[in-house]
Amino acid sequence: MLYPISTDSRVVMDLSGVWKFMIDDEVKEVDVNQPLPTGEPMAVPASFNDQAVSAEIRQHSGYVWYEREFTVAKALRDERLVLRFGSATHEAWVYVNGKLVAQHKGGFTPFEAEINEFLVPGANRLTVRVSNLLDYTALPVGNYSEKTDENGKIIRKVDENFDFFNYAGLHRPVKIYSTPVNYIEDITIVPNVDLAANKAEVQVSVKTGGNFDEVRVTILDEQGITIAQASGTDVNAVIENVHLWQPLNAYLYRAKVEGLNNGEVEDVYEEQFGVRKIEVKGGKFLINGEPFYFKGFGKHEDTHVRGRGLDEVYNVHDINLMKAMGANSFRTSHYPYSEEMMRLCDREGIVVIDETPAVGLMLSFTFDVSILEKGDFEDDTWEKLRTAEAHQQVIRELIDRDKNHACVVMWSIANEAATYSKGSYEYFEPLFNLARELDPQKRPCTYVGIMMATPKTDKCTDLVDVIALNRYYGWYVQHGDLKTAEEKTREELLEWQEKYPDKPIMYTEYGADTVAGFHSALGEPFSEEYQEDYYRMNSKVFDEIPNFVGEQLWNFADFQTKFGIMRVQGNKKGIFTRAREPKMVVRYLSERWNGIPNLGYKK
């Protein structure tokens, strides 16, 4: 799916702004043929939860409504007009002038619909019904329940089966874009690099709607100079003296695709791309033939008031904070991030592990790892969950959206699933096969393993290219005892190394809740001193393990979660506060990461 951009043949209308909003009380049916009976304002894009100073809105489980008017200029009415949502969390029904034009389930990927036949001259009314409900068929997984009150009204409740707040709404831009009747529908770019010859063959495949006499593909460098040109919907272009896309040193080419009839260009689209080679070989993660070391974060799309809504100011600021620390990567924990962030990472050379929203795939959450030591612990996750269909859908939509991004070097199929339990391999094998079949660039695949998924108990490690671990020795286990935590960390990593000598190993989460400004001469847990001691301990062990290829800590910044006695104003494992103020450990990590090269470390 192509990102909407303006070109010589395309116009983009942004519908961001203040919409009308209301909660659906499910008592009186909402008539979509009439304007919404509400004057409540709600900004888009953003979560609805924190904008209104209302506990009812913030904690609402169920359905909400958005509405606004728009007008299409006369000059565009003969064009093909497409209404596009960057996301709607978690399910949406979209009406134009009272007519259903689109329905989509899945809160973190885009969807769109042609709307020409539904438009009227002058003002048009766009109405959207959004559900934030989650259950055992959805991703992420929610514990859904409902009851009926004394008046017969249904009271719905979602208890998150994951450790972040269930922000919902129209989180990403809503746009209308135009194309000619004959149009470029999709572009797939696959660079194949010959490192020894310093050149690349770039395969460009074009999907069109309507009919063209000719499709022309032009490759341009960063200065806009044409370096290759060919005609056809499947072409190969050779780039000599290629500029490689490198971590923190991005170089982006452009594929200019034109559809022509009778020698005249009818539609044109430009897709940026980077040329780089990704391999997993001999226990190393290679970018352009050199061992790459992941330095960075698990993260969240999470800011004050906006919640999970797109905030490009924070995106730019976060990337700058990362680069100042010497970080080079992050994981889109625990869902696909905005297309705007992915495009920024392409430009800035930030390496991304792209993750599906498959979080909460575990019904027996516990940190009593000892129950797994005999290797026969099971729960009923794979009997009770019905997420396979949603999981396949999001893999298809994620790869379709992000297939051309140079920044994406690996797909994460799930986060902290019950891969220790009977039935997990049978569940995950088809998903890994699907991802590998769909990805034209054949990137490595992984899932992120929870602490109970040990070398003895995990049943799915054979499926992954990289072993990605979430580990909290010294926090959730051995709490406050860093000496024992160091021993346990070393012991487990050496066991993984011995069992899978050809697979790279990395940490995708490790961290300790830290209250900004709390200090302790004794280095007590929750103090800034303990957080630094914790990271120093882990760093020491990481440097001892030959196949250990990366450290992505948890978390970049404090973030909001549901209420709980373990969560005071959310999760405090950030090395920055939610407002992006640094905690003490940032100085240590900056010194460490700036001293570790992106490429060539642990050769």
Q: For 550-585, write each residue's pLDDT tens digit.
A: 999 999 999 999 888 888 889 999 999 999 999 999
Residue 222 near residue 251 (C-beta atoms within 8 A): yes
Other Cβ atoms closer than 10 A to 585? 23
pLDDT of residue 581: 98
Give domain status of residue 3, yes or no.
Answer: no
Has residue 94 got a pLDDT over 80? yes
Has residue 272 got a pLDDT over 90? yes
Has residue 372 got a pLDDT over 60? no
Task: State the Cα–Cα distance between residues 30 and 41, nearest whole angstrom.
Answer: 18
Q: Residues 164, 170, 176, 177: what is their CA dihedral angle, to the nearest 10 degrees?
A: 0
Has residue 145 got a pLDDT over 60? yes
Beta strand 226-231 pairing with 234-240: unpaired
Residue 48 near residue 211 (C-beta atoms within 8 A): no
pLDDT band at 527 (very low <50, low <70, confident <90, very high): very high
SS3 content of the chain, % helix, strand, coil (to 5): 20, 35, 45
57: Cβ contacts below 8 Å, ≥ 6 apart: 23, 48, 49, 51
If you average pLDDT over residues 208-233, what whole number do you get?
A: 97
Would you call 58 exposed, middle or buried from its count of C-beta atoms within 10 A (0-12, 13-18, 19+)? middle
Give domain status of residue 4, yes or no.
Answer: no
Has residue 367 got a pLDDT over 60? no
CATH of the domain at 117: 2.60.120.260
Nearest residue to 233 via CA among 258, 208, 206: 206
Q: In this structure, are 257 and 159 located in the same domain?
A: no
In b/e form, how buried is each residue of 76-112, taking b as 16+ CB within 10 angstroms? eeebbbbbbbbbbbbbbbbbbbeeebbebbbbbbbbb
Give domain status of residue 32, yes or no.
Answer: yes
Q: What is the DSSP letter of 231?
A: E
Taking all residues of the chain, what is their mean pLDDT, rounded to a whole number?
96
Dump pLDDT digits (tens) for 427-470: 999 999 999 999 999 999 999 999 999 999 999 999 999 999 99
Q: In this structure, are 39 and 146 located in the same domain?
A: yes
Q: Is 509 a catalytic residue?
A: yes
Has residue 478 got a pLDDT over 80? yes
Give domain status of residue 495, yes or no.
Answer: yes
If you average pLDDT over residues 321-341, what whole number do you get?
A: 98
Q: Which residue has better confidence, 79 or 378?
A: 79
Give domain status of residue 199, yes or no.
Answer: yes
CATH of the domain at 484: 3.20.20.80
Residue 396 near residue 429 (C-beta atoms within 8 A): no
Q: In this structure, are 258 and 312 located in the same domain?
A: no
If you average pLDDT over residues 141-157, what whole number do you get?
A: 93
Q: State the catalytic residue, choosing from 79, 266, 416, 486.
A: 416
pLDDT of residue 375: 59
DSSP calls for 15-69: --EEEEEEE--SSS---TTS--S--EEEEESS-STTTSS-HHHHT--SEEEEEEE
Q: How far is CA 452 from CA 112, 374, 379, 469, in A?
A: 40, 12, 12, 10
Structural domain ending residue among the three candidates 179, 211, 245: 179
Structural domain ending residue among the three candidates 273, 292, 320: 273
Q: In this structure, are 480 and 455 located in the same domain?
A: yes
Nearest residue to 64 via CA among 22, 105, 92, 26: 22
In b/e form, how buried is each residue of 279-315, taking b as 16+ CB within 10 angstroms? ebeebbbbbbebbbbbbbbbbbbbbeebbbbbbeebb
Q: In this structure, are 460 and 541 located in the same domain?
A: yes
pLDDT of residue 564: 82
Segment among 112-121, 203-212, 366-375, 423-432 with least mean pLDDT: 366-375
pLDDT of residue 371: 62
Q: In this structure, are 368 and 472 located in the same domain?
A: yes
CATH of the domain at 255: 2.60.40.10
At residue 268, what are phi and psi to the nearest 5 degrees? Answer: -145, 140
Give domain status of residue 250, yes or no.
Answer: yes
Give domain status of residue 601, yes or no.
Answer: no
pLDDT of residue 502: 97
pLDDT of residue 561: 95
Q: State the catalytic residue, choosing from 301, 355, 509, 529.
A: 509
Residue 546 near residue 590 (C-beta atoms within 8 A): no
Q: Which residue has better confidence, 95 or 366?
A: 95
Give domain status of residue 583, yes or no.
Answer: yes
Q: In this structure, are 292 and 389 located in the same domain?
A: yes
Q: In this structure, are 301 and 200 located in the same domain?
A: no
ω into residue 171 within 30 of 0, thus cis?
A: no
pLDDT of residue 366: 58
Structural domain ending residue among the three candidates 116, 147, 179: 179
Q: In this structure, are 348 and 253 located in the same domain?
A: no
Dump pLDDT digits (tens) for 240-253: 999 999 999 999 99
Task: State the Cα–Cα distance between residues 320 and 317, nearest whole angstrom.
Answer: 5
pLDDT of residue 152: 84
Q: In this structure, are 38 and 89 located in the same domain?
A: yes
Q: In this structure, are 221 and 304 located in the same domain?
A: no
If you average pLDDT over residues 489-516, what whole number do you get?
A: 98
Other Cβ atoms closer than 10 A to 430? 12
Task: State the Cα–Cα distance between residues 207 and 179, nearest whole angstrom.
Answer: 14
Q: The domain containing residue 161 runs over which residues?
A: 12-179
Quickly list H helices, 423-579.
424-438, 482-499, 528-542
Q: Is 416 a catalytic residue?
A: yes
Task: State the Cα–Cα distance between residues 209 and 265, nearest whole angstrom.
Answer: 15
Q: Domain count of the chain?
A: 3
Would you call 131 exposed, middle or buried from its count of C-beta atoms within 10 A (0-12, 13-18, 19+)? buried
Q: How far is CA 475 from CA 4, 551, 583, in A?
A: 44, 17, 18
pLDDT of residue 364: 75
| Structure token digits, residue 198 | 């310093």
Q: In this structure, are 195 and 175 located in the same domain?
A: no
What are 176's strand-pairing partners? 13, 83
**Residue 91 CA to its chain's centroid (Å):** 17
